[in-house]
Structure 1
């Protein structure tokens, strides 16, 4: 509808609906009144209320990752936007098309430094978004929002931000909604044919090549092409380094899969050619003690985002392209007839990967071992289960032991923003209602997002939360252990103790079915009860508080 009486808030709703958006995740205030009022005339449009902005953004992020389509979080002024920035960074790293709308006070109040006003609110979002803009007039709102959607979807995709002041939202808007089909990006970056031919030749003649799959392979539906390429060449394949891992680019069940990328692994060290497809190279956690790529290997890096190539490590050949087009091009570009097939090398690397359990937690009498918990979880994760990981200390064990088959069996965050999974699991479940969604968190991560339990309970979203409770911020103690000072001498770790929190009781307080376990052997039965429950469930399992991780 256009004409007198149509508010800017209603124009926002019409634009969202035109883009196929049928729900918004919001933690609103007074500045969102015109929009919220407009939703009453559209009962098919769902307003998902969240008690904290971080849940709104992580839920939108989860939905966008699972669907590849834009998802909308609507926040209130700069105070709400500030509360969301940690999880907005997670969306940035995942190239997740999240559109963040923020209601602002009227322009006059902004000029006067009024309540919940700061200069240029969008600057808060700037480091985390592809674009930020504040609408300057009511008539420009439909066009501004259309632009936010277009840029969120344009590769390299990622979040965008639009500020909407209360006076514009309340005013009359006669501007029509632009046709989304004329603004939706459909272009895919094609690789340079000469570079494709060169890399195909390198793969065909290399003695010991290695393929490494990043999250972008899954995001661009290129998994099947990578599998075909690996099988044709008979080469080992790894998923990207844990520090940048966001979702699997290659199925862990495939016989060519040989683990997560780690320069210390023999299969990496003896490679003469490494092709990184859709990976970030690399996110450094601490000052590196050596190179992440063996000096003897030639390096090819394929990525949609040219800025990712050569960001830290130089490469021998770069391909800026959609990973699907690049990998299918490599497959087609292999020489006709036989190419060198290295089945013995694949078998050797796979055997080494399966035999390497990694650093195992010590067995301590009277407390459960996190490795046993990971094994128990692996036993209940089937092809219809999606795991949303957010466990710091046990994250490496979970990635080693849980099945991770693209595109939808495993999602996690490489941002370090704790509590992300509390909301992301909600968005993922809404996007994929036929899958069993299990969010696996540490007790420390849980403390950053318990408000997500209220959302799951309020809307009866059947997510299963599994909280591995070691009653500590073990990562803090692990850092003190690496530092090797007085804390290690005295075995006293300030900042570690998180005991005394009954997570299951908190969940029940939010209206969530909850169980507290002390043994991994109880997990199978507890998970069956959780799946049978019609709404959300939480399983808390107590583990060794003295285990600080590998």
Structure 2
């Protein structure tokens, strides 16, 4: 039997180093699934929801060393379910290729079943590049272009629509060699801007460096540590609203916490360098004030469109961050004396357990006690993330990852993708009870594949973020004490997890939690721990 274009697509993926395709398929994917029988080197990872497929690809891509990840979705209905995951991948600059099986062209033209016009327009706002294949003989080049665009910097998700009749057609195209389409290295920074930045940092009374996720993506965290030591500068992570992955060791004496206007290191700074970070990423209108008068703002980012877009910047840098940081250090004046050593920040510890429901800082403290350098934390607990970030050690680049997309359900699938990419690491997904209800289908994948992920669910029985927003709004809900849209209490999540085939337990005390975490760390498959916490804790 002759091979189809689907065989060619799989061969291209294998040539690019892709070994998994995360999919929730339908009938339009039949040609691809059928061809995969002849290509056992490709692992078709079945999921039961499109959000799980895309978030698994996102989590995998963040730790796959530049190899793109692939999700295969089903027509318009599957794409819509996966868009929240695409948005998270876009913000996380994860090289995710979303293949979208579409109905045959003749059905599309007649608006047949699941064939609305211009499906690609749904994805366009979340993709670096979107394209619907037009001819079978062009499929190979279309897929090669998608893989190249996803991985070339700054990386990010792309969308490629694949009509079923084209994928089923006889193979007729030869793909470009991957070596001719590999990632193009980012350029060098503007030397005049490097000189200006080095001069400003050298004379600063209290310089502050903000460690961004680009430094992890571009393997430049070690140079940030060296720059901080050479300058004697304090270092903070990005504001928690834009924080996406840990980029500076929290145990280092120069580490000062997370960027917030209330932090002493921020209030005292006269030069602030946002390095590889998003700068003043707004959550609500007017929520981020402009820098104080007299503060020099330096901003570097892999994407020039990110630089200075909210409050502007005095000095701007773009390009490869290893080059940026190396040249900044080389440009510091000869004989520069670093600022005096800072006292070590006080250790963050949980308060003694009160009589009553567990609080999130206690949960974070218990988890922190089990974290070592081979532990990866995927945080998707919305209002609990601040306490997690404050307590969890982050000594390895990317040890803690999260999303600022607001797409609930991201963390459960992403944790599975991280586990596939880093099979020797322990992965813990910290999720809220609200997020769980979006991401629960990931449990089926965890059980089916026996992925050793610990799901730690913080159950406060509420959409605490909604109640916190009403509290900030400060009107009738606060006056009456009634918060519409908050109460989601009721489900027995441990029982639901067990129903999926993931061993689970519900805990209500600190000792129970410590014991459950220890047991989960020794398990050879997934585990689920539901922690009942204070329903009145609405977070910061």
Q: Does 1:69 align with 2:67?
A: yes
Deviation at 1:330, TM superposition (A): 0.8
Structure 2 CA distance, aligned partners of 1:60 and 1:38?
Answer: 21
CA positional deviation for 1:363? 7.9
Instruction: Determine if contact 2:282/2:288 at 8 Å carries over to the other structure.
Output: no
Partner of 1:30: 27
Residue 145 (structure 1) aligns with: 143
Q: 1:361 touches 1:370 (CA, 8 Å); kept in 2?
A: no
* Distance in 2 (alpha carbons) for counterparts of 1:526 and 1:355: 24
Secondary structure at the counterpart of residue 401 of structure 2: strand
Q: In structure 1, which of residues 402, 409, 413 is the aligned counterpart of residue 392 of structure 2?
A: 402
Deviant stretches of 4+, over 4 Å: 360-364
Counting only pairs closer than 5 Å after superposition, residues 54-93 of structure 1 correspond to structure 2 as 54-67=51-64, 68-93=66-91
Residue pair 2:351, 2:362 contacting (<8 A) in 1 also: no
CA displacement 1:216-243 (0-9 Å, x = unmatched): 1111100011101111111111111111
CA distance in 1, matches of 2:373, 2:283: 32
Partner of 1:481: 471
Residues 301 and 317, structure 1, Cα contact 8 Å, conserved in 2:
yes
Aligned-partner Cα distance in 2 for 1:547–1:361: 15
Q: CA deviation at 1:41?
A: 1.5
Q: Does 1:112 align with 2:105?
A: no
Residue of structure 1 equivalent to 2:252: 254
Aligned twin of 2:304: 306
Instruction: Count the aligned residue pairs.
Output: 539
2:192 & 2:475 partners in 1: Cα distance? Answer: 55
Contact 2:71 2:98 in 1 (8 A): yes
- Cα deviation, 1:36-75, whole Å, max 9, x if unaligned, reads 1111122221111010000000000000011232000000
- Is this contact kept in 1: 2:58–2:96, CA < 8 A? yes
The 8 Å contact of residues 223 and 250 in structure 1, kept in 2 or not, is answered as yes
Shift of 1:289: 5.3
Q: Distance in 1 between matches of 2:351 and 2:100?
A: 45
1:19 to 8, 16, 33: 16
Q: Distance in 1 between matches of 2:441 and 2:126?
A: 23
Does 1:271 pair with 2:269?
A: yes
SS in structure 2 at match of 1:394: helix
Mapping for residues 116-515 of structure 1, pairs under 5 Å = 116-288=114-286, 291-336=289-334, 338-344=335-341, 346-347=342-343, 350-351=344-345, 354=346, 365-515=355-505
**Which secondary structure state, in structure 2, belongs to the residue aligned with residue 300 of structure 1?**
strand
2:19 aligned with 1:10, yes or no?
A: no
CA distance in 2: counterparts of 1:535 and 1:290, whole angstroms? 43
CA deviation after TM superposition for structure 1 residue 106, in Å: 0.3
Q: Output the aligned Cα RMSD.
A: 1.7
**8 A contact 2:215–2:247 mirrored in 1:** yes
After superposition, the Cα gap between the structure-2 partners of 1:182 and 1:335, relative to the gap in structure 1 and judged at 3 Å, is same
Deviation (angstroms), 1:290: 5.7
Give the TM-score taking structure 1 as reference length. 0.95
CA change 1:362–1:492 in 2 (3 A) is: farther
Residue 43 of structure 2 is matched in structure 1 by: 46
Partner of 1:530: 520
SS in 2 for 1:387: strand
Q: Give the match's secondary structure for 1:254.
A: coil
Question: Match of 1:246, SS?
Answer: coil
Contiguous gaps of at least 5 residues in structure 1: none
Describe the SS at the equivalent of 2:284.
coil
